Structure 1
Amino acid sequence: MKNWFKENSAHLIVIAIFVALVFFYFTPVWQGQTLAQSDVVQAQGAQKEMFDYKAQDGKAPLWTNSMFGGMPTYQIWSASENNIGTYILAAVKTVFPQPIDIVLFYLLGGYFLLSVLRIRPWLAALGAIAIAFTSYNFIYIEAGHVTKAYAIAFIPPVIGAVIMCFRGSRLWGPVLLALFMALEIRVNHLQMTYYMLIALMVYVIFALIYAIRDKKVKEFFIASGLQLAAVIVAVMVNASILIPTYEYSKLSTRGHANITKVDASKEKGLDKQYAYEWSQGVGETLTFLIPNAYGGGSSGVLDEKSNVAKFLMSTFGAQGMSNVQAAEIASRMPVYWGDKPFTSGPWYFGAGVLFLFILGLVIVNNRLKWWILTTTILILLLSFGKNFTLISDLFFDYFPMYNKFRAVESILVIAAILIPLMAVLTLNELITKADKIEKLDKKVLYTFIGVGGVCLLIAFVPDLFLSFKNKDHAQLVESLTQQVGDQNAANQWVNSLIKDRSTVATTDAYRSFAIVLITFLAVWFFIKKKLSANILIIGLAVIFLFDLWSVDKRFLNDKSFMEKRLVTSQAFQEREVDQLIRMDKDLSYRVIDLTTNPFSDARASYYHKSLGGYHAAKLMRFQEILENQFNGAVNEDVLDMFNVRYVITGDEQKGQRIQRRSSAAGNAWFVDQVTFVKDNAQEMQAISSFNPSKEAFVNEEFKDKFNGQRLGVPVNASIKLTSYHPDKMVYEYSTPTEAFAVFSEVYYEKGWKAFVDGKEIPIIRADYILRALQLPGGNHKVEFIFDPESHKLGGMLTLIASIILGLGLVAAVYYSVKNDKTKKAIT
């Protein structure tokens, strides 16, 4: 054991340093505070009903009625009890609470990748810091994109394990690939996993080329086979997540449209305009080097010292505006002037890191260089989206599954790994081969002139290269003109904003030049043998950490935290209208909150069964109802069929009001007439204006489940909900003849089953999205039970694969210890 500690002392010290770094960055967490993340708050609203029943029953229901009329809960949270990754993540989180665990995973994952590349520990630690502290890694955390952050953290170790396999590791390589890939999939952000696979696809192509050239094709296919087996195990470990999600995706906005559109390209996957909405601007790549070149974040950048604040005080100070008010208004001004709708901050990789990356393109003589360069260029082109459609459209239209994802700029997370990776390879090349690189001093100097020169040009003459205006400039002037009633004042206001945008760009340009200069001098003195390798590494580690840390603190800092109890109480403060509505003890009425955009806000779901909600992949049928029945005006008939009894209106200034709707159809009802329509378009048109309590529209595809000859008019009939559970609802009814009942519950064919007195009967879809049953006459009990086969199959496969992966880890450790003892015995 003593020998083990001695042999791994450098790694242990590095890990201890990483722990110290996350401790100091997130001191509020250790003081009992937590992040007030918008996406996490939305998730809490969406999950409230589910977790209430989990606390009551000991397990979470598989369906929730708190959003969009109803949807599977495994799309908003999954326990995955049989998944080995669940317990690994939980164990780490027990010691290192969120978001400390995320950044620790960032650091350890980067360090593992660089260690696989046989980079010395201290240099690998420098690289891990550069990878981990890239700006968007922290912006995602601040915004609450937690699953995305976890997925990013596991990308480097997956890449490292793949490299191990191709280098001939036939035990640890596949086992670690299975483990890291299982964790990557477990955190459940398939978009990040998909982007990682694009990068690995390019790597495998290069590996095959080199295998053919080196006449090692057999070894390539052996390594590929082992990796395929590892990936299969990793996928099976996550079968309980993947199988239900795949099943759901086909019925969601990620799948086929149900109503044929003129543009056939929109029938499958996301709308291209929607997917490209957040595209990286071509010119915005400048932020890789100068963080605030495009203004930084959309708001919160300016203060009382800004030109905007000074203008406001000089113009409106006499009318009573205070310095505090001027600063508050200035802080809300859109300093970001790129073409994204809005942004929390820039993609910043570090000025010194980018200097070394570009230098590496000149001096590194390594096979990885060409993979890194090729992949980085591809990633950059794809991130441009609508701003450079030549490549993006090819992938969107023809590359499998690429059109399932939005916010294409997110693919830059791969560049945020590869650029620091090249920077470390550059330093490694300098340390190990400086004497063998021809004209090294000139290459270093020219790179500095090029990178530093860009910084100085932006610092000295920013207006020559940057306009500091975007496409919404005229609308901004018009909006301010309406506010102040004076176009001249509005123009002066906007001109002050432009000056501020120029100032923040200039300030950061000087800052980046200083970082580039220090990095250049450190490298220069090293190649001139004035600095040792250790001093070079330690010095650059400090510089890079200071650089990235200080930029990250602009977006994720102590002000981002608050007391845990306050996060929930402030986000979900119960209003008087909520209290009044909750006095209604009916089991199933719904609420729509029009004080906000109800279909992109889950706060109402915290207290009510909301028709609205927040989720990136609604059921396609619900989305189509929004597009056709809530486009411009609210269809009252559709509210009736969804049993929307309460509408919340008003605003923050005037307060909220409740509208009680007496026309809501109830949780279930018998209809007098069933009308068949030939397709989905006619069905959608039919519900545009109808009385849901009297007539139901049914697609002809359900004719074989319907016997109209036995159907009678439900005279003196009644039906009521007697027991409510999100995934099990019980109704009792009485009708003298067979009747057609419509239930104000979302139709989802993959899991819901209906039983009359214990005997299963077919569920019919009515009114485009609701469940309906043809019920026999008499007094009977109806049960709806949600028990999807995909969930059961996935759980079984997950358990089997987790056992296999666990045994693989044990075997790898056993044989490693055994081989180590054998080597020591021989020596």
Structure 2
Amino acid sequence: MKQLQKFYPHLLAILGFILISLVYFSPVLQGKTIYQSDIVQYTGMAKEQNDFRAENHTEPYWTNSAFGGMPTYQLGAKYANDYIGMLDDALRFLPRPADYLFLYFLSFYGLLLVFRVDPLKAFFGALAFGFSTYLIIILGVGHNAKAHAIAYMPMVIAGFILVFRKRYLHGGTLTMLAVALEINANHFQMTYYLFLLLLVFSVYFTYRLYQDKELKELPKIIGTFAIAVIFAIGANATNLLATKEYASFSTRSKNELTFNPNGSKVTTDNALSREYITEYSYGIAESLNLIAPRLFGGSNAENVGTDSKLYEFIINQGASPSEAEEFAENVPTYWGNQPIVAAPAYIGAIVFFLAILGLFHDKRKIKYAFLTGAIFSLLLSWGKNLGFLTDFFIDFVPMYDKFRAVSSIQVLLELCMPVLAIMGLQSFFIEKEDQWKSLKYTGIVTLGLVVLLFLAKGMFDFTTANDNYYIKAYGEEMGSAFVNALKADRASLYAADLLRSGFFMLVAFGVLWSYHKGKLVQNTAIIIIGVFMVGDLVFIDKNYVNNKDFVSKREMAEPFEATESDMQILQDTTHYRVFEVSGNMSSARASFFHKSIGGYHAAKPRRMQQLFDYQIAKNNKEVLDMLNIKYIIQTDEKGQEFPTMNPDANGNAWFVKELKMVNSADEEMKALDKLDTKNVAVINTTEFGVWLKTEPKSFAKDSLATIKLDLYRPNHLVYTSNNTNDGFAVFSEVYYENGWIATIDGKETPIHRVDYTLRGLHIPAGKHTIEFKFEPQVVKTGSMITLFSSIGMVLLIIGGVYFERKREKSMDNRK
């Protein structure tokens, strides 16, 4: 009974998290799902894979519907023995996106319990973390993997802290499971940022061990982490190995070309350019959005209402009230440094107030570790606006140059600040000494900052470089008037949100002062602060993610509607590719219906992207032909789509007369500038030189020679060739070094990369059956490692429970 009473508050908290998650995303109870733009694109790219899985009850691990062909490792491929994935599914039992919100709450609640925070404060702290505006907006746009990885961060930190507290069994077990779940979330950028934060904590805890003369415990701590991490990695081996293999094929790998599409010299061989990495850099002053949401305008699509200057401007142009109101719902008020912002990264005025209180009042030194983590992430989020630090990390810190959108490292701050806030709230009620002094200083700092920013309003001009677009688009007179109205609304938002944040800080100050004076009891004070703290965030969140964003499940399952062009093309039942010009290689719409060379992915196949940049974008039709692009979807002057048939497409496979030898990737690419792809194939001798020493370089091409595709599956292709001479065939399929096996009449034969990105085979004279099968060894190897690691994890947990109970029993006997 006592045990039940002990867990009763936690059970209530969990039930509260479930209820609040479902209420916030209430349309899920009606069977609806949230419309997420990124998931729409994923649905387009994964259509062939998902259809194959549904029909064959197995994984293809390859799709031809996106970027000409690529592995599905980063498109939601399912692997055998993924028991950590099953555990994750069990934790995320609510309908999406309520499942991620619940996971935010649950994980952060667990972290606060490690700090011995009582359930009521931990409950409100978890809500404050989960409703942080950035964490909600990423659910709105469909950054599910990012949300997934962020959700497990607090759990990893909780295990990490327990191990350093020398609770090796509990901490090691939690670390092992949490790290395994974190890796399983499959967003390596967020996991990498978490690792950087853990390095900060490691320095702090090691210093504390040194101070306490307990460095002898360090080998045990390191050993515990080593065992936990090894098994966590092993339990995700298939995904990790497959991702590592694919990385060298993607745009995240080293650039082999030494010249740009415009002919200029490439100055770095980094996978991503410095400009691309830092394109989304948080403005230094813009960081104040953390405490006042629309200080820099909020978002690129803000609702300014009918009392705004923009509304008045539109009315004065002769628009009806309904037209003006509709316009005012989607106004580009954002005037910060980033190209596009869907919502400000607001952590909450009361969260900020309580975090400052924690710095003044909490006596635990660990607060400095969280403060350091917050400042560290803030500085790195400034990106190009703090160039010397960002350049240092790009140039010298391993793997930092593999990730873009450096502003997203602010998630560490958005984790650290709520921890400091609840530490402040907790310590205020426990440590009576200097209570008023700490509260007074907190009020001076936080409210003083609000007043200072209010007085500094005149220092800002509320303009952005994008404003010039409106002046050009609307004309000098009207455009200038539009921008002036826009600037007035930005200034209004600036002042209004500072007053709003000041109000919430005053509420927190007043409630804690009332408690200090004995006018409120502790739980009443906590509930009032908690309700205002969470309410503040929820009201801001609802501006950006609300019930209007939900649609029927069918609409998300089939997000694209076939156009007349699609319907016309689909009447052709042969196998070919489609190029949608307006998609510009960055849309997965065409992939939903056709075999497309476009798609939408943060790690595209590198060589296909380069073919587009260096050749297709320059209207090199021969490259379109060799990719078997039979249809091109174009747009006329009126914006109407129409399909054009390419009668010169090379087909699924063809024999060539000659192999053109080149010695570098540069020469490969340049050779495509003027290449008769139907008769000549380019091959790089530096990679396939051994084979070329014994093989002919030219071939007799019989006009009657044929090679025909008989069977198509994304992972299995069967051709029949008939040629009176030995020949070399080019296949309009993307070359991928690992996994594809080619056989001629059942005998394996080497595949060679030709024409920069396609497959080529030497085929002897006569009639032959040629097969390509995708049987990735990395999946087989990874699945075995995953199985044994999962078994090892279970045995470790069982052994740990057994020895813990044995230890407790021994201690009881001594009593």
Could you say which TM-score interval applies, normalised by the shorter chain? over 0.9
AA matched with 2:72: T
User: Which whole-Å CA distance do the structure 1 matches of 2:153 and 2:139 have between them?
Assistant: 16
- Contact 1:593 1:649 (C-alpha < 8 Å) held by counterparts: yes
Structural mapping, 1:144-159, within 5 Å: 144-159=142-157
- Contact 1:304 1:324 (C-alpha < 8 Å) held by counterparts: no
User: Which whole-Å CA distance do the structure 2 matches of 1:332 and 1:353 have between them?
Assistant: 29
Structural mapping, 1:488-637, within 5 Å: 488-569=477-558, 571-586=559-574, 588-594=575-581, 596-631=582-617, 633-637=618-622
TM-score, normalisation: structure 2: 0.96
CA apart distance, 1:264? 6.5
Q: Could you tell which deviates more after superposition, 5-14 or 84-93?
A: 84-93
Picking from 400, 418, 421, the partner of 1:420 is 418
CA apart distance, 1:266? 3.1
CA apart distance, 1:529? 3.2
Picking from 108, 111, 122, the partner of 1:110 is 108
Structural mapping, 1:671-820, within 5 Å: 671-701=656-686, 702-706=688-692, 707-709=694-696, 712-715=699-702, 716-815=704-803
1:150-176 deviation line (CA, Å, top 9, x unaligned)? 100000000000101111112121111
- Contact 2:91 2:103 (C-alpha < 8 Å) held by counterparts: no
Long gaps (5+) in structure 1: 482-486
Structural mapping, 1:39-188, within 5 Å: 39-93=38-92, 95-188=93-186
Picking from 623, 630, 647, the partner of 2:632 is 647
User: Which whole-Å CA distance do the structure 2 matches of 1:68 and 1:760 have between them?
Assistant: 27
Distance change >3 Å, CA 11–CA 652, structure 1 → 2: farther
User: Which whole-Å CA distance do the structure 2 matches of 1:813 and 1:683 have between them?
Assistant: 60
User: Which whole-Å CA distance do the structure 1 matches of 2:266 and 2:620 have between them?
Assistant: 27
Distance change >3 Å, CA 265–CA 430, structure 1 → 2: farther
Q: Could you tell which deviates more after superposition, 781-790 or 29-38?
A: 781-790
1:766-792 deviation line (CA, Å, top 9, x unaligned)? 111110011111100111111122121
Picking from 425, 443, 446, the partner of 1:448 is 443
User: Which whole-Å CA distance do the structure 2 matches of 1:669 and 1:305 have between them?
Assistant: 67
Structural mapping, 1:356-395, within 5 Å: 356-395=354-393
User: Which whole-Å CA distance do the structure 1 matches of 2:563 and 2:265 have between them?
Assistant: 44
- Contact 2:659 2:698 (C-alpha < 8 Å) held by counterparts: no
1:200 match: 198
1:295 match: 297
AA matched with 2:13: V
Distance change >3 Å, CA 402–CA 428, structure 1 → 2: same
1:334-356 deviation line (CA, Å, top 9, x unaligned)? 11111111110111011011012
AA matched with 2:44: G
SS of the residue corresponding to residue 688 of structure 1 reads helix
SS of the residue corresponding to residue 398 of structure 2 reads coil
Picking from 351, 354, 367, the partner of 2:352 is 354
TM-score, normalisation: structure 1: 0.95
- Contact 2:656 2:699 (C-alpha < 8 Å) held by counterparts: no
User: Which whole-Å CA distance do the structure 1 matches of 2:302 and 2:464 have between them?
Assistant: 18
1:313-334 deviation line (CA, Å, top 9, x unaligned)? 112x1xxx32222233333431
User: Which whole-Å CA distance do the structure 2 matches of 1:703 and 1:758 have between them?
Assistant: 25
1:214-252 deviation line (CA, Å, top 9, x unaligned)? 111121220121011101110111111000101111221
SS of the residue corresponding to residue 73 of structure 2 reads helix
* 2:9 is equivalent to residue 7 of structure 1: no
- Contact 2:470 2:482 (C-alpha < 8 Å) held by counterparts: no
1:585-643 deviation line (CA, Å, top 9, x unaligned)? 10x2000112x333111111000000111111112212222221134x33211111100
SS of the residue corresponding to residue 98 of structure 1 reads coil
SS of the residue corresponding to residue 614 of structure 1 reads coil
User: Which whole-Å CA distance do the structure 1 matches of 2:637 and 2:566 have between them?
Assistant: 14
2:473 match: 479
- Contact 2:237 2:783 (C-alpha < 8 Å) held by counterparts: yes
1:503-546 deviation line (CA, Å, top 9, x unaligned)? 22222111111100001112222233333222222121111111
2:31 match: 32
User: Which whole-Å CA distance do the structure 2 matches of 1:649 and 1:157 have between them?
Assistant: 50
1:715-751 deviation line (CA, Å, top 9, x unaligned)? 1210011101111111110111110100001111122
User: Which whole-Å CA distance do the structure 1 matches of 2:785 and 2:420 have between them?
Assistant: 39
Q: RMSD value over aligned CA atoms?
A: 1.9
* 2:462 is equivalent to residue 468 of structure 1: yes
- Contact 1:339 1:471 (C-alpha < 8 Å) held by counterparts: no
1:268-302 deviation line (CA, Å, top 9, x unaligned)? 33111001111111011111110011111101423
Q: How many residues align?
A: 808
User: Which whole-Å CA distance do the structure 1 matches of 2:523 and 2:646 have between them?
Assistant: 74
- Contact 1:80 1:86 (C-alpha < 8 Å) held by counterparts: no
1:307 match: 309
User: Which whole-Å CA distance do the structure 2 matches of 1:580 and 1:811 have between them?
Assistant: 64
- Contact 2:66 2:599 (C-alpha < 8 Å) held by counterparts: yes
User: Which whole-Å CA distance do the structure 2 matches of 1:434 and 1:634 have between them?
Assistant: 75
1:407-460 deviation line (CA, Å, top 9, x unaligned)? 00111111001001011111122111122x3xx42442232133223334555x
SS of the residue corresponding to residue 171 of structure 1 reads helix
Identity of aligned residues (%): 37
1:456-489 deviation line (CA, Å, top 9, x unaligned)? 4555x563143211233333322222xxxxx222
User: Which whole-Å CA distance do the structure 2 matches of 1:826 and 1:652 have between them?
Assistant: 89
AA matched with 2:132: T
AA matched with 2:579: I
AA matched with 1:643: N
CA apart distance, 1:198? 0.3
SS of the residue corresponding to residue 728 of structure 2 reads strand
CA apart distance, 1:813? 4.3
- Contact 1:462 1:502 (C-alpha < 8 Å) held by counterparts: no
User: Which whole-Å CA distance do the structure 1 matches of 2:281 and 2:432 have between them?
Assistant: 40
Q: Could you tell which deviates more after superposition, 739-748 or 214-223?
A: 214-223
- Contact 1:258 1:620 (C-alpha < 8 Å) held by counterparts: no
AA matched with 2:745: D
User: Which whole-Å CA distance do the structure 1 matches of 2:732 and 2:191 have between them?
Assistant: 37
User: Which whole-Å CA distance do the structure 1 matches of 2:459 and 2:235 have between them?
Assistant: 51
Distance change >3 Å, CA 187–CA 216, structure 1 → 2: same
AA matched with 2:565: V
User: Which whole-Å CA distance do the structure 2 matches of 1:811 and 1:521 have between them?
Assistant: 52
- Contact 1:14 1:125 (C-alpha < 8 Å) held by counterparts: yes
- Contact 2:303 2:329 (C-alpha < 8 Å) held by counterparts: yes
User: Which whole-Å CA distance do the structure 2 matches of 1:825 and 1:516 have between them?
Assistant: 54
User: Which whole-Å CA distance do the structure 2 matches of 1:309 and 1:700 have between them?
Assistant: 65
User: Which whole-Å CA distance do the structure 1 matches of 2:470 and 2:280 have between them?
Assistant: 20
1:21 match: 20
- Contact 2:634 2:644 (C-alpha < 8 Å) held by counterparts: yes
User: Which whole-Å CA distance do the structure 2 matches of 1:731 and 1:33 have between them?
Assistant: 45
User: Which whole-Å CA distance do the structure 2 matches of 1:9 and 1:195 have between them?
Assistant: 35
1:484 match: none
